[in-house]
Amino acid sequence: MRWSYLASVGALAVVLSACSSTPGPGAEDGAGSGDAASADGAQSTGMSGAGGMSESELYQGQPVERERIVYFGFDEYSVAGQYQGMLQANADFLKENGNREVVIEGHTDERGSREYNIALGEKRANAVRDVLLSYGVSSSQIDTVSYGEESPAVDGTGESAWAKNRRAVIEYGQ
């Protein structure tokens, strides 16, 4: 079970590394509320049909001004109200473009065990997915993956770095 999970995460990381992006400057930390995450393993799935596309083809049609990052408080995974408008805009885009898919990546800061952070990252990705689904996006357009602490947006320690690493990122595919 653990090897198949690691193989799935590894395969997805290879696919996503070809189409990853860096979060923009000036990100703000959001707050939400939630319970502690369980130590269950995260599930991951990949985008279909994204292989072989250039980055410009991959993001073609995605509005440049579209925000795609939701930040979370320490040990939290509820989506704060300040992100509802941004998520509604992303949902509207996805509903208008039914052939487009997203992967929602869940991330954590470096505190906590690897297993705990994978589970918390999964809860963050699922929380954003659930909001998009509530706005009418088809579940076939959304995949989730948790990177836990493995892909920090900002290197370093301290609250300013940790706040930027506690996030869920909406990555657009085809």
Q: Output the pLDDT for position 82.
A: 96
Q: Mean pLDDT of residues grouped by 10 in the chain (174 residues)?
A: 44 42 39 37 41 46 69 97 96 94 97 97 98 98 97 93 96 82
What CATH number is associated with residue 139?
Answer: 3.30.1330.60
Total of domains in the chain = 1
Spatial separation of the C-alpha atoms in residues 22 and 5, rounded to whole Å? 26
pLDDT of residue 39: 36
Q: Are strands 167-172 and 102-107 parallel, antiparallel or unpaired?
A: antiparallel
In 10 A of CB 112, how many CB atoms? Answer: 19
User: Residues 125-129: contacts with CB within 8 Å, 24+ apart?
Assistant: 125/168, 126/77, 127/32, 127/34, 127/77, 127/78, 127/79, 127/168, 128/70, 128/79, 128/87, 128/104, 128/168, 128/170, 129/104
Domain that holds residue 60: 2-172
pLDDT of residue 92: 95
Residue 22 has what pLDDT?
A: 40
User: What was the pLDDT predicted at 61?
Assistant: 56
Separation of first and last alpha carbons in the chain? 30
**pLDDT on residue 173:** 80
Sheet arrangement for strand 102-107 = 69-71, 167-172, 102-107, 142-148
Whether the model clears a pTM of 0.75, i.e. scores above it, the answer is: no
